[in-house]
Amino acid sequence: MASPKKQLQGLVAATITPMTEHGEINFSVIGQYVDYLVEEQGVKNIFVNGTTGEGLSLSVSERRQVAEEWVTRGRNKLDQVVIHVGALSLKESQELARHAAEIGADGIAVIAPFFLKPWNKDVLINFLKEVAAAAPALPFYYYHIPALTGVKIRAEELLDGIQDKIPTFQGLKFSDTDLLDFGQCVDQNRQRQFAFLFGVDEQLLSALVMGATGAVGSTYNYLGKKTNQMLEAFERKDFSSALNHQFCIQRFINFVLKLGFGVSQTKAIMTLVSGIPMGPPRPPLQKASREFIDDAKAKLKSLGFLSSTDLKDGNLESYS
């Protein structure tokens, strides 16, 4: 069993993998990035090499280096560093799990393999179990993201009896809008000290009502402060303020979703708000358009997420 650790709570930023204009990983800005999250956004947990981090577009060697850099730079600054180690190859996934343990990460997360897919709960559990066993001292999180993996096995079903199979199981990152499934995960596991981490940032308040203990998301990179205000309002049972904060966040996310929003756009927005150059995404993804950036910038400004002194356009010069 994993050593009883402090439960993963509050906001977890799904980190972006910064890249150079030539498509190589830009390790040099990760130190600054850690400081930015902690000092400017009040976010002290990270989720590395996930969807936002283009984890599945990196080589195994790159994933190891990225994980190591975040753990090193985050030491004594971050509370927890969770590494996503999911891969299509069980061997690769196990290698990454072992590596996460070696470098002193605080946990590992795994998505369902999405090419040759598990067709039922037991088959999926078996795969996850083999990965978890490669890092027997690390808390294990299942990353449920059916829209991207195509694996629609309900999380509620998966969690039923999971600790018997995976003794290090510690929680769920739930990136889906099915609040019945999410609520039942919480309801049926109340006796257990699991972390229930919600992954749809624009609906977090509803998930808090349903029992979420934290959240992992891309927007906490740059809307962490605002989202923390929502969490605080919820804590003190000031639901009308909490709702106002959620609506404000929704106005931004709704706006960008309509323009077309994904990892590329997240990289551009983070560059704009933090001033730290995130660079382009890796193919098949393509850089966000100049038009997207102009529109997003105007929206961020009008919602008060970007003060005019924050504008660090220099880093966006390569967008055209």
Residues in touch with ligand MN9 (CB under 6 A) = 14, 51-52, 175, 199-202, 217-219, 253
Quote the least distance from Cβ 205 to ligand MN9, whole Å: 13
Query: Token pair for residue 235?
Result: 């804590």
Q: What are phi and psi of 144, to 5 degrees?
A: -95, 110
- Strands (E) across the chain are located at 10-14, 45-48, 80-84, 107-110, 140-144, 169-174, 195-198, 214-217
> Which amino acid, one-letter code, is at 261?
F
CA-CA distances (angstroms) from residue 313 to 248, 253, 258?
24, 21, 23
Nearer to ligand CC(=O)C(=O)O, 190 or 276 (CB): 276
Supply the residues annotated as catalytic: 143, 173
The secondary structure element, H or E, covering residue 92 is: helix 90-103
Encoded one letter per residue, x for contact with ligand CC(=O)C(=O)O by CB under 6 A and - for no contact, window 174-213 reads: -------------------------x--------------
As measured in angstroms, the least distance from the Cβ of 132 to ligand MN9 is 21
Rounded distance between C-alpha atoms, residue 12 and residue 37, angstroms = 10
Distance CA 41, CA 13 (A): 10
Q: Is 66 annotated as ligand-binding?
A: no
Closer by beta carbon to ligand MN9, 111 or else 233: 111
Separate counts of helices (H) and strands (E) for the chain: 14, 8
Rounded to a whole number of angstroms, the minimum distance from the CB of residue 191 to ligand CC(=O)C(=O)O is 26
Q: Does 14 engage in binding with ligand CC(=O)C(=O)O (CB under 6 A)?
A: yes
71 labeled part of a ligand binding site: no
Q: In the chain, what's the furthest Cα-to-Cα distance?
A: 54
Binding partner selected for residue 202 from ligand CC(=O)C(=O)O, ligand MN9, none, CB under the kind-specific 5 to 8 Å limit: ligand MN9
Contact 281, 202 (CB under 8 A): no
Q: Where do we find the tokens 């956004």?
A: 41
- Distance (Å, whole) CA 208 – CA 200: 11
Shortest separation between residue 110's beta carbon and ligand CC(=O)C(=O)O, angstroms: 11
Q: Tell me the residue nearest to ligand MN9 as measured from the CB.
A: 217
Question: Residue 92 or 310: which CB sits closer to ligand CC(=O)C(=O)O?
Answer: 92
Based on the shown chain and the rule CB under 6 A, indicate whether residue 70 belongs to the binding site for ligand CC(=O)C(=O)O.
no
266 makes contact with ligand CC(=O)C(=O)O (CB under 6 A): no
Smallest separation (angstroms) from ligand MN9 to the CB of 199: 3
- Is 45 a binding residue for ligand CC(=O)C(=O)O by CB under 6 A? The answer is no
Query: How many CB atoms are located within 10 Å of the residue 314 CB?
Result: 9
200 touches, from ligand MN9, ligand CC(=O)C(=O)O, none (C-beta below 5 to 8 Å by class): ligand MN9
Residue 302 makes CB contacts below 8 A (sequence gap 6+) with none
Residues contributing to the site for ligand CC(=O)C(=O)O (CB under 6 A): 14, 47, 50-52, 199, 216-218
